[in-house]
Structure 1
Amino acid sequence: MRPPLPPPVSTVAALSALLAWCPSVDAAAALHARLLRSSRLFRPPFLGNCLAAAYSRLGAAPSAVALLRHAPHANIFTRNILLVALLKSCDLQAARRLFDGMPDRDAVAYNSMISGYIDSGQTNEAFRLVRTMLEVGVRLSGFTFSIVLSAVRVARHGVQVHAAAVRHCFVHQNVVVGNALIDMYRRVGLVEHAVSVFWSMNGHDIISWNSVMLAYRDGGQSSWVFECFRLIRSHGFFVDERSLSTVLSACMDAEDLSKGDQLLAHCVKMGLLSNPLICSAVISQLCVSDRLADAVWLFEGMATWDSETCNAMISGYARSGLMEQALGLFAMALQNGVLPTGFTFASVLRWSSCSGLVDQGTQMHALIFKLGLKDDLIIATVLVDMYCKLASLKHARKIFNRVGVKDLVLWNTMITGLSHNGRGREALQVLWQMLKCNIQPDRITLLGVLSACSLEGLVNEGINIICLFEDKYHIVPGQEHHACVVDMLCRAGMLREAVYLAERKLQSCIVAALSNILEASMIKGDIDMAELIAEKMMKLKPRSSLPYIVLARTYGTRCKWESMARMWRSMEDQGAKEVQECSWICTKNQIHVFTSKQILHHGKEATYAVLDLLFWDMRDHKSAPWCVESIYTQEEPNNSEKPACLHMFFDYTP
């Protein structure tokens, strides 16, 4: 018998083109039925591969897997398409078995497997596969570098990948790799490296300009964002939605309302407010510039709602303290079928926790579980922050431990939350866990750890951590870190060292540092030091009421009535007003704020009844005031015996 004739070349080319441009799964299924009816057309593996690729591209990965799993004439293209389909079906183990059993693996197969590991959060396996790829002699492609760079979270790893890209001549010639490098350096905080990569590239596209504008914005260089925007227009590039949203956010950061108004006029002139991303950026800018009414007018004039604009408006309400309106809009968006995103929950949960709205926060958490967003890293971070602010560390710990791949922001949130709740030693344990995971710390990490050391009185540990961060991670302590060290020394009773450090390192905020030392002096009972600090504060800031009040009360306790009256008169002559401290409590979605002088007007009997119950509960648990007082009456440590490592931080001679 004569063998069957192959299908005409024109027919194969036409069918492959139809499959490549197939708009839906139904259309692909119709072409599949046509191929099945004509066995002569379906016999070559080429059309089968095209059909499977179409199924995978259109989101029907199981159909592609069923088609290719038992293909009679499988080749390398068939296996690569089947590998991609398995990865899209989230069957990573089956994909790895197929990958290991492939007789010949090219760069496409390696890239697909590396991308699958990164998407599943297994970055270590992805990097290990890259090393295997180099060992077996498979040449890395530009797509390989772009995939790997998207997973880099540590600056050291990013520099290593950059060096490999330079060796393979991909940095200056390949725009995709250059853009990935700029975005990677921006994520890890090395803005100067991102800018250097951009200006060394031989050619740029709009993605390159948008990436470097984001880098400049994150680095606080708003003037360069505006300059890049001008260069984009002068070079003839089309300004897209990301360019305009980045420039609008830079105007908000720089508080440059004039440029923001010019961009707003440009968006109105070009009819760009219909774009959700641009409209949300404009709403955010109006809210930040205290023009909430204009933002509401723009939002209400929209024909349809979308998640971006709703997020911006909800965040604007919350930022202005209008939590009732923010929650109301959140509910209306749900009723109109606008599903909340991670940014929506981040805005509402952050401001709900700041306002003490416990019930709303827990309801949001339940909704997050219902929508299946509990594994979102941003939402998990905000939930940890909310529960820490609400002093519910059990729930914060549970959410934190459930997250598989933690980023630096989540680690910092947990460390800071534990510190603010008086769990200093637990915060230090979280720090060591983070460093074991090879997470590069930053200045926020150092501040949270120093706060933990301050609460626990761990002066030695705090100074050692500062030296570790400076020597190993090249993080130089700033004003906020020195202020935390001053507080740490005050809590440890090392007042003279605290004064020396404040006068040497905190000249720009010396009054605030001296205020902390003054309060610590009163707590420790060092009257002479309190008088010295109060006199210094009166010279530096005569209108501050704190030193006058402290000295007046000090003189009163020592029965120096004339000196006390002189302090009150000096305070009145200088025009210093006593700051009224307040307390607040949230009941039934309402926040009640009252000062010490108003406590009689807010349920005197009930308030003192609760205080009596607390007092007797403290006494039963041996934490009554006299027990606390006995701690302070114990023998104080010798302050002249400084920690052995203190000289590593600053040279001090008592």
Structure 2
Amino acid sequence: MPLPFPPQQVQVLRTLLHCTVNKELSRGRVLHARILRDGSFSFTHLANAVINLYAKCGHLAEANLVFDNIVHKDVVSWNCLINAFSQQQAHSSSSHVMRLFHRMMACTTVPNAHTFAGVFTAASNLADVSAGRLAHALAVKTACSEDVFAASSLLNLYCKTGLVAEARELFDEMPVRNAVSWATMISGYASKEFVYEAFELFELLRREKEGDNENEFVFTSVLSALTCHVFVDTGRQVHSLAVKNGLVCFVSVGNALVTMYAKCGSLEDALKTFELSGNKNSITWSAMVTGFAQSGDADKALKLFYNMHHSGVLPSEYTLVGVINACSDVCATVEGRQMHGYSLKLGYELQLYVLSALVDMYAKCGSIGDARKGFEYIQQPDVVLWTSIITGYVQNGDYEGALNLYGKMQMGRVIPNDLTMASVLKACSNLAALDQGKQMHAGIIKYGFSLEIPIGSALSAMYAKCGSLDDGCRIFWRMPSRDVISWNAMISGLSQNGRGIEALKLFEEMCSEGTKPDSVTFVNLLSACSHMGLVDRGWVYFKMMFDEFNIAPTVEHYACMVDILSRAGQLNEAKEFIESATVDHCLCLWRILLGACKNHRNYDLGAYAGEKLMELGSPESSAYVLLSSIYTALGKWEDVERVRGMMKTRGVTKEPGCSWIELKSLTHVFVVGDNMHPQIDEIRLALKLLTKVMKDEGYQPLLDPLLPEIISNGLKDQEVSDEIQLRVCGGL
């Protein structure tokens, strides 16, 4: 049979193929120069071999240049370049593939199955379903759609773009399937969390006894579908089958098993599998580190990363993300900064996932300045990054900053997700900014969010905290499901707005629906009892915590009980309760008792509580002021001077009181003795008129002997008008 090209070129072609397989680029360049010198470049098969050489060696620009210089291009010429660029996965490379394919069609070169395999891969990289469908139609027309490689690439396109129904239809019509086809379809189901469909397909593969197709790719695909604790037994069965088939020796299968057990919450099995893995790579370590971090075992995650580092395995960016998240969970700022430095050293800091994790870590650790620096470094932050920084501001108490960031996010036309809206609603709640909260509610409707958790919980809590209880209740009962956080928010809102009886009734409904209360629930219940003076009911709830729900009382619960007893005038009982407390309460319990003693004018017990605070080194100015005033009332002037001197020596200063009111979408802030407000004269005039009306109606101020100088002149001297009076008159 005659050769399709001159015999003297056979050796050149063979050498080119050898250089391509072994990636001997320098020798290949010499051959390319010889081909140009001898005038052999006009032979298309040699030119195609040169394109393939440069492409396989990663020099796509040179491959493209050789391609452009070919006069008579055949389908192999186009395929060499199309497949080379499609395998790069980058957006620009995939876009170039689509342009090449259009040029190919314009040149009337008929594509074959290899062409379509590359085009479908590029469309998959671009997530361009429309282009993929057009190419699919052309593949059917040219009878290339039944090729297993082309069909598998098309299957991957449909699965990656979420069109699993169309993918399954194509899969069922394939006359021949290989392991890639099965693995792709199973992975498609796994990506959409269709666990049962993925496992049924895996069982179908085994029933059809296509043993050659039960390879490591199929097993890693089916294991990736098992991501919930209810599927851990199924995962164990797949694990046993992998051992039986001798596939656990593959690193990819071992990694998938570790990941599966970790995601299913079976960390003991994950750790055993990890320790038995003979050839651990960065993915193996990353799977185990991430597993510990996601399950809340941050300390174990950090320790494992330390071992990984000392074993000489370099982490991937995903490993670093897992470790940084572990630092976030335990507020390990020092270790988090070390991970930041390590990511810089490895060149991962500019990776979006790593930078997002760093922003989240700094925000959760309270370093909001560092978080903001990392956030501003990114040119086009996505919704995840916006949510991280907004949530960080909320967690650190900068609610106005959080709302300002949300405004910038809107200006950038970034669509928020449910977590973004929940954080912004929390900011509105803490600012009691009802108008802005209503705007957020309108945004929730605009973006089509449902009242599922967490949005429903945050929205009902916002209305409740802003005093709009009817709206809050309406949202609460419209929620399709309610968790303990939702119940807590509503109970707290009712309690704080003087509807304590309704709060206690809501707790009964919560229990009847089968929702188990947590420690926050009992803080809200005890707070309601405190406001209503229900001492006996408070004791019932305090004892119920441990007896019925095995919840150990914390300092917040003890504080509520002290407040209940103090408000009811049972000050000695409160003192005995504090001294019998089994938790480390530091200062707060004595501070509550001190304030109660002042209100009930039990100065001797107040002095006792105040001296306890002095012994503990209280940093609160109010404790010193109250104790000093109590000693004034008792006529103990030496003790007055001693307390004031102690306050000065310790550097304790009194912060001025601050209050605010929202009027016509503007927030007006007032401090004690405020003279900065632009309408301060009109406000003070309104205060003076209101005071006169009150006195004419027979109102007499309740004089407190603790503050004789201030109280006696309080209604006469405008300069001592506190911020609450100014706020009320400003609103009028």
Percent identity of paired positions between Structure 1 and Structure 2: 20
Instruction: State whether residues 264 and 282 of structure 1, in contact with CA within 8 Å, keep that contact through their aligned partners in structure 2.
Output: yes
Q: State the distance in 1 between where 2:228 and 2:15 align.
A: 49
Is the alpha carbon distance of 1:620 and 1:220 closer, same or farther for their aligned partners in structure 2, counting shifts above 3 Å? same
Instruction: State whether residues 146 and 177 of structure 1, in contact with CA within 8 Å, keep that contact through their aligned partners in structure 2.
Output: no
Match of 1:14 among 7, 11, 18: 11
1:619 counterpart residue number: 655
1:565 counterpart residue number: 536
Is the alpha carbon distance of 1:249 and 1:635 closer, same or farther for their aligned partners in structure 2, counting shifts above 3 Å? farther
Match of 2:437 among 445, 459, 471: 459
1:90 counterpart residue number: none
Q: State the distance in 2 between where 1:222 and 1:72 align.
A: 46
Paired AA for residue 12 in structure 1:
Q
Paired AA for residue 347 in structure 2:
G
1:264 counterpart residue number: 239
1:513 counterpart residue number: 486
* 2:584 pairs with 1:598: yes
Q: Structure 2 length as normaliser, TM-score?
A: 0.64
Q: State the distance in 2 between where 1:409 and 1:146 align.
A: 28
Q: State the distance in 1 between where 2:30 and 2:585 align.
A: 80
Aligned residue for 1:518, secondary structure, equals helix
Instruction: State whether residues 360 and 371 of structure 2, in contact with CA within 8 Å, keep that contact through their aligned partners in structure 1.
Output: yes
Paired AA for residue 484 in structure 1:
A
Deviation at 1:499, TM superposition (A): 1.1
Paired AA for residue 502 in structure 1:
F
Instruction: State whether residues 552 and 567 of structure 1, in contact with CA within 8 Å, keep that contact through their aligned partners in structure 2.
Output: yes
Superposed CA deviations along residues 12-47 of structure 1, whole A, max 9, x for unmatched, are 133223322436667453465577689875753554
Superposed CA deviations along residues 276-298 of structure 1, whole A, max 9, x for unmatched, are 11112222344456654554444
Is the alpha carbon distance of 1:137 and 1:397 closer, same or farther for their aligned partners in structure 2, counting shifts above 3 Å? farther
Instruction: State whether residues 535 and 547 of structure 1, in contact with CA within 8 Å, keep that contact through their aligned partners in structure 2.
Output: no
1:501 counterpart residue number: 475
Paired AA for residue 500 in structure 2:
A
Q: State the distance in 2 between where 1:106 and 1:54 align.
A: 14
Match of 1:534 among 471, 482, 504: 504
* 2:203 pairs with 1:230: yes
2:600 counterpart residue number: none
Q: State the distance in 2 between where 1:108 and 1:35 align.
A: 16
Q: State the distance in 2 between where 1:223 and 1:637 align.
A: 63
Aligned residue for 2:454, secondary structure, equals helix
Aligned residue for 2:349, secondary structure, equals coil
Q: State the distance in 1 between where 2:197 and 2:67 align.
A: 59
* 2:119 pairs with 1:119: no
Paired AA for residue 9 in structure 2:
V
* 2:282 pairs with 1:307: yes
* 2:185 pairs with 1:207: no
Aligned residue for 2:226, secondary structure, equals helix
Aligned residue for 1:277, secondary structure, equals helix
Q: State the distance in 2 between where 1:343 and 1:351 align.
A: 13
* 2:466 pairs with 1:492: yes
Q: State the distance in 2 between where 1:449 and 1:188 align.
A: 31
Superposed CA deviations along residues 438-483 of structure 1, whole A, max 9, x for unmatched, are x7x655555555556555632332222122212xxxx544343222
Paired AA for residue 70 in structure 2:
N
Superposed CA deviations along residues 132-163 of structure 1, whole A, max 9, x for unmatched, are 869978899633343133123xxxxx554455
Paired AA for residue 213 in structure 1:
I
Is the alpha carbon distance of 1:426 and 1:239 closer, same or farther for their aligned partners in structure 2, counting shifts above 3 Å? farther
Q: State the distance in 2 between where 1:19 and 1:486 align.
A: 71
Superposed CA deviations along residues 518-561 of structure 1, whole A, max 9, x for unmatched, are 222344xx22x232122232244278587776565555555x4x
Superposed CA deviations along residues 393-429 of structure 1, whole A, max 9, x for unmatched, are 4433443444456555445545554554534324423
Taking the TM superposition and a 5 Å limit, the aligned residue runs for 1:351-362 are: 351-362=326-337
* 2:398 pairs with 1:425: no
Deviation at 1:253, TM superposition (A): 2.0
Is the alpha carbon distance of 1:358 and 1:468 closer, same or farther for their aligned partners in structure 2, counting shifts above 3 Å? same
Deviation at 1:217, TM superposition (A): 2.3
Q: State the distance in 1 between where 2:377 and 2:99 align.
A: 27
Instruction: State whether residues 172 and 178 of structure 1, in contact with CA within 8 Å, keep that contact through their aligned partners in structure 2.
Output: yes
Q: State the distance in 2 between where 1:389 and 1:253 align.
A: 27
Paired AA for residue 471 in structure 2:
E
Match of 2:70 among 72, 75, 85: 75
Q: State the distance in 1 between where 2:72 and 2:42 align.
A: 9
Q: Structure 1 length as normaliser, TM-score?
A: 0.70
**Which region of structure 1 is more displaced relative to structure 2, 496-505 or 72-81?**
72-81
Aligned residue for 1:597, secondary structure, equals coil
Q: State the distance in 1 between where 2:412 and 2:166 align.
A: 25
Q: State the distance in 1 between where 2:460 and 2:157 align.
A: 36
Is the alpha carbon distance of 1:220 and 1:430 closer, same or farther for their aligned partners in structure 2, counting shifts above 3 Å? farther
Paired AA for residue 224 in structure 2:
S
Instruction: State whether residues 328 and 336 of structure 2, in contact with CA within 8 Å, keep that contact through their aligned partners in structure 1.
Output: yes
Is the alpha carbon distance of 1:111 and 1:571 closer, same or farther for their aligned partners in structure 2, counting shifts above 3 Å? same
Aligned residue for 1:490, secondary structure, equals helix
Deviation at 1:190, TM superposition (A): 5.9
Aligned residue for 1:251, secondary structure, equals coil
Deviation at 1:495, TM superposition (A): 0.9
Instruction: State whether residues 358 and 390 of structure 1, in contact with CA within 8 Å, keep that contact through their aligned partners in structure 2.
Output: yes
Deviation at 1:318, TM superposition (A): 3.5
Instruction: State whether residues 548 and 567 of structure 1, in contact with CA within 8 Å, keep that contact through their aligned partners in structure 2.
Output: no
Is the alpha carbon distance of 1:407 and 1:573 closer, same or farther for their aligned partners in structure 2, counting shifts above 3 Å? closer
2:568 counterpart residue number: none
Instruction: State whether residues 248 and 263 of structure 1, in contact with CA within 8 Å, keep that contact through their aligned partners in structure 2.
Output: yes
Aligned residue for 1:255, secondary structure, equals helix
Instruction: State whether residues 500 and 531 of structure 2, in contact with CA within 8 Å, keep that contact through their aligned partners in structure 1.
Output: no
Deviation at 1:344, TM superposition (A): 0.7
1:95 counterpart residue number: none
Paired AA for residue 460 in structure 2:
V
2:705 counterpart residue number: none
Taking the TM superposition and a 5 Å limit, the aligned residue runs for 1:538-553 are: 538-541=508-511, 544=517, 553=527
Paired AA for residue 565 in structure 1:
D
Is the alpha carbon distance of 1:162 and 1:567 closer, same or farther for their aligned partners in structure 2, counting shifts above 3 Å? same
Aligned residue for 1:340, secondary structure, equals coil
Higher relative contact order (CA 8 A, sep 6+): 1
Q: State the distance in 2 between where 1:214 and 1:26 align.
A: 32
Instruction: State whether residues 186 and 198 of structure 2, in contact with CA within 8 Å, keep that contact through their aligned partners in structure 1.
Output: yes
Instruction: State whether residues 20 and 50 of structure 1, in contact with CA within 8 Å, keep that contact through their aligned partners in structure 2.
Output: yes
Match of 1:149 among 124, 141, 144: 124
